[in-house]
Structure 1
Amino acid sequence: MAKDKKNCSINFLDLPWEDVLVPHILVHVPLRGILSLQRVSKSFQSLVQLYLSNCHCFDSTELGSQLPRSTFCSLLKDNTVLQKLDLQSCSNWLTDKELLPIIGQNHHLLQINLNNCVHLSRQSLVAISLSCPHLKNIGLGHCEWVDCLSLRSLADHCKQLEVIDLTACRHLKDEAICFLVQKSSRLKSLSLAVNANISDVAIEETAKNCRDLEHLDLTGCLRVKNESIRTLAEYCHKVKSLKVKHCHNVTESSLGILRKRDVALDIEPPLQRALVLLQDVVGFAPFINLQI
């Protein structure tokens, strides 16, 4: 019996690939480590290819900004089951040519991050809207190629949107945002930051249609005023945070309503702002705890 135990050994690759290695072991290995396994042997290379064709999440940030275009295209060419796709680290070179095939064969995507991917076009967003009906979360920050027509397509076809980042999508105007929120009543988080075209019209429509809204970023939206913030306070009782820094027409007369509900604001109360200013000017602060 002892001799049998001594001679009994199991090779890692002898374990069932699809039932054990891929779903229970490789899923816990960082993506960079997964790719390193390809260099061990041809068998490991086949295992990695199987893993990549069945993985539900691809996060390019795990590989940094050094992921080559050719490597990226080969990694996901056989995958049809992606649920989360983060391509922010590919922003320097990602174009429609690389993205469209992946979007076209993955119809179960729930989350897509394209923040800073400036070399894409509206064609990519239209493709996402047609191929990903279950999409809940999309990041389009600083993608100036997002226009009113492509956003309308997204709103028309992706009915389950809960999170959308439109930071610095400068071509969007009130009309496009109103259409979006009328179609996306499930929205919980919305960023319209750094968009001088957005006014009270869009914010009031957002408040009236998205009653479950929890996070709203209006940083730098210069045309937003107190009126829409009051409407937000009236309709959105679940709101947890609001960013209005550099919104010069938003004052404490509207923010105070939300402040009383313990909504996290990026603007300090008037007294605290005055004390901080005093400290900056005269070099000392009164004996008051500024953290209160």
Structure 2
Amino acid sequence: MIHYIHHILAVDFCTPNPSVNIFLMLSSSPSLEYDVISMDLPEECWELILNSLGDERHFEPISLVSRKLLSITNNLRRNLVFTQQALHKTFNLLPRFPNLKKLDFSQVALDVDAFLCSVSECEMDLVSLNISNQKEFPITGLRELVSKNKNLRELICSKIGLKDEDVIAIAESCPAIEVLDISYPDYNGDDFPDGSPDLRFCSGFVTDAGIHAMAVKLERLLKIDVSGNFFLTDKSLASISSKCPLLKELVVNDCDFITQTGIGLLMGSSQHLSSISMNGIGIPSIHQNFTDKFGEARNLCEVDLSNSFLSDEFLCSMAEASLKLKKVSLSHCRYYTFAGISVLLQKYQSPENLNLEAADFLSDESMIELSKFLQSLTSIKLCYCSMLTNATFFTLIRDCPLLSEIKMEYTNLGIEEFPMDSKINPRVKSLYLARNGNLSSEFLKKVALLCPSLQVLDVTSCLGISEEGIGEILRNCSQVRHLEINVCRQLNNLGIGFDLPKLEVLRASGSGLNEDALIMIANHCCRLLYLNLEKCFNVTTSGLVKAVENCISLREINLKWCNVNDGIVAWMVFTRPSLRKIIPPGGFAPSNNQRSYFFNHGCLVCDG
């Protein structure tokens, strides 16, 4: 047994991908509980091993091995998400997790105010709280919680009908807050005459006065998101820039009364500003005084100008500003051309993230030219660029040595021949290629050879792919953990003759997967956590039984509109204790007693 523990530690610290099989070894060994308890292995060693798993969702099966591991995993848990169905049960478990740092109530629609007051009685040291999606702002509970958690630094309260008095109360209660999200307040449409906002009726909303009073008290603020607060004007940005000297990140999307003048003022006066996200600028034109402010924002490294009207002259002015650009998003922008983006990228050959979605002027030839300036690129988005084909894709693979993620949905992948000078790129981890109607199995075979480290693949609605192509991907890319093959109707199976030791998420809604595919999943996908088989009409009960029996970590499954026996639901709940959520076959509607019974066994069964 000592050799066994040492082997675990060796795997954890000496391999490129630590703890590949630790959690399987721990959760599947029936004799391990006695051995672990009988050994006096220091908790610090177990903490190192368990932390290397990288995700707290892997703690649950390990915690079942022994009381010692249960105690250790409880101490290691930092995040807790409350759900509507399990609110009371989760709350009762709070004392088990003494080191929680983040609480998320965004999925709860009950009286969060009262629960926050109760949570404040627990001894915790929270740094982050998410109370989004509430009907009313829980100010009483927030005050109680913050009074006991002086280190709270992040507050997310998006999609709440906030008013001036609420944001002022936030500032008074949380003066040390560093990250604040008050975006997209959810106001009832009845509050507006004829369904439209009117400045004459803004007393029940967040206004410039509220933002000013808030900014005065939040001197430590580093990031704020005020998107969707449609009554705010440039005065709000003036208050933020003058009263929050440490501000680094600002998000002001969908604020119709905020203009280029206000944004320019903030960029010119916030010397620490490193990231700004704003959309819809340049209507009707770009102001010169706004353009000049880019030269004053010396620390600016992330710029998102999505859905804006940009000229080549504006992009050239950005190039002259000598910024430290690492992230540039021009998603769905209009009027700029290849000339403008070429000047910008030639000046800044440092962007790591580039978003040129819907740049309909881009061609394979232009992307081949731009790729010369993308040596630092790690992520690129080229969705809705209809002229781009295989040549662009394989040029990026070849010429961008650090590239990890490519998004080319709604393009023309698949219609050109494959380039002869292709090159293997072991850095590529994620490919989002959905809705490319011409994408073929031959294309996937080429990808399998050039991207051996692939972890995420989305080929949703790529109707031309078959088992031959996807099988080649899975055979050559053993690191795949997330696969989306929705609406791939020709895809009946995933292939044979290989294991998928890392696959955790399989979304196959509307695909042609059949009983053989489920048997393959049962035999080769030991770590599967999420399985979506909605509208997979070829799925059978016998195949599903094998998959559920063998996938010992399965947490969620969607069987909506599958042709399987309704009785399978109860069987799954009791056979696979790891299941936390089931969407049953159409027509199956559990009674309240059944739903409660299933839930008491740890599984939420929704309506079919």
| TM-score greater than 0.5 by the shorter chain | yes
Which of 412, 420, 428 pairs up with 1:239? 428
Which of 444, 462, 467 pairs up with 1:255? 444
Deviations 1:70-105 (A, max 9, x none): 6545544423442111113x5585842174133132
Q: Distance in 2 between matches of 1:108 and 1:282?
A: 51
- 1:265 corresponds to 2:439: no
Distance 1:260 1:59, change over 3 A: same
Deviation (angstroms), 1:55:
2.3
Counterpart of 1:144 in 2: which secondary structure?
Answer: coil
Q: Which runs of 5+ in 1 are unaligned?
A: 1-23
CA contact (8 A) 2:391 2:416 kept: no
Q: Distance in 2 between matches of 1:281 and 1:230?
A: 40
Moved more, 219-228 or 145-154: 219-228
Q: Aligned residue for 2:303?
A: 112
Deviations 1:39-97 (A, max 9, x none): 48999999854345652222214xx5344326545544423442111113x55858421
Q: Distance in 1 between matches of 2:301 and 2:535?
A: 50
Max Rg structure: 2
Deviation (angstroms), 1:281:
8.7
Q: Aligned residue for 2:597?
A: none
Distance 1:283 1:206, change over 3 A: closer
Q: Distance in 2 between matches of 1:41 and 1:110?
A: 24
Q: Aligned residue for 1:144?
A: 334
Q: Distance in 1 between matches of 2:426 and 2:216?
A: 57
Listed as ranges, the matches of 1:1-292 within 5 Å are 25=176, 27-29=178-180, 36=210, 38-39=212-213, 48-52=240-244, 54-61=246-253, 64-69=254-259, 71-88=262-279, 90-91=280-281, 93=283, 95-97=285-287, 99-117=290-308, 119-222=309-412, 224-225=414-415, 227-228=417-418, 234-256=423-445, 257-258=447-448, 261-267=453-459, 270=466, 273-274=488-489, 276-277=510-511, 285-287=539-541, 288-289=543-544
Percent of pairs with identical residues: 14
Deviation (angstroms), 1:108:
2.3
- Greater RCO, 1 or 2 (C-alpha within 8 Å, sep 6+): 1
Deviation (angstroms), 1:183:
1.6
CA contact (8 A) 1:226 1:250 kept: no
CA contact (8 A) 1:83 1:110 kept: yes
Deviations 1:140-171 (A, max 9, x none): 11113231111211121102111101111011
Counterpart of 1:212 in 2: which secondary structure?
Answer: coil
TM-score of the two chains, using structure 2 as the length reference? 0.38
Deviation (angstroms), 1:267:
1.6
Moved more, 211-220 or 96-105: 96-105
Q: Which amino acid aligns with 2:303?
A: I
Q: Which amino acid aligns with 1:220?
A: Y
Q: Distance in 2 between matches of 1:150 and 1:111?
A: 18
Q: Distance in 2 between matches of 1:48 and 1:281?
A: 50
Q: Which amino acid aligns with 2:298?
A: H
Q: Which amino acid aligns with 1:180?
A: L
Counterpart of 1:96 in 2: which secondary structure?
Answer: coil
Deviations 1:207-258 (A, max 9, x none): 22102111111112215447559977x4221111112223233222332453
Q: Which amino acid aligns with 1:255?
A: L
Counterpart of 2:365 in 1: which secondary structure?
Answer: helix
Counterpart of 1:238 in 2: which secondary structure?
Answer: coil
CA contact (8 A) 1:207 1:231 kept: no
Q: Which amino acid aligns with 2:269?
A: D
Deviation (angstroms), 1:126:
1.5
Q: Aligned residue for 1:4?
A: none
Deviation (angstroms), 1:205:
2.4
Distance 1:56 1:157, change over 3 A: same
Counterpart of 1:235 in 2: which secondary structure?
Answer: coil
CA contact (8 A) 2:298 2:322 kept: yes
Distance 1:92 1:182, change over 3 A: closer
Aligned length: 264
Q: Distance in 2 between matches of 1:27 and 1:263?
A: 34
Give the structure with the larger helix fraction. 1
The alignment's C-alpha RMSD in Å is 4.0
Counterpart of 2:361 in 1: which secondary structure?
Answer: coil
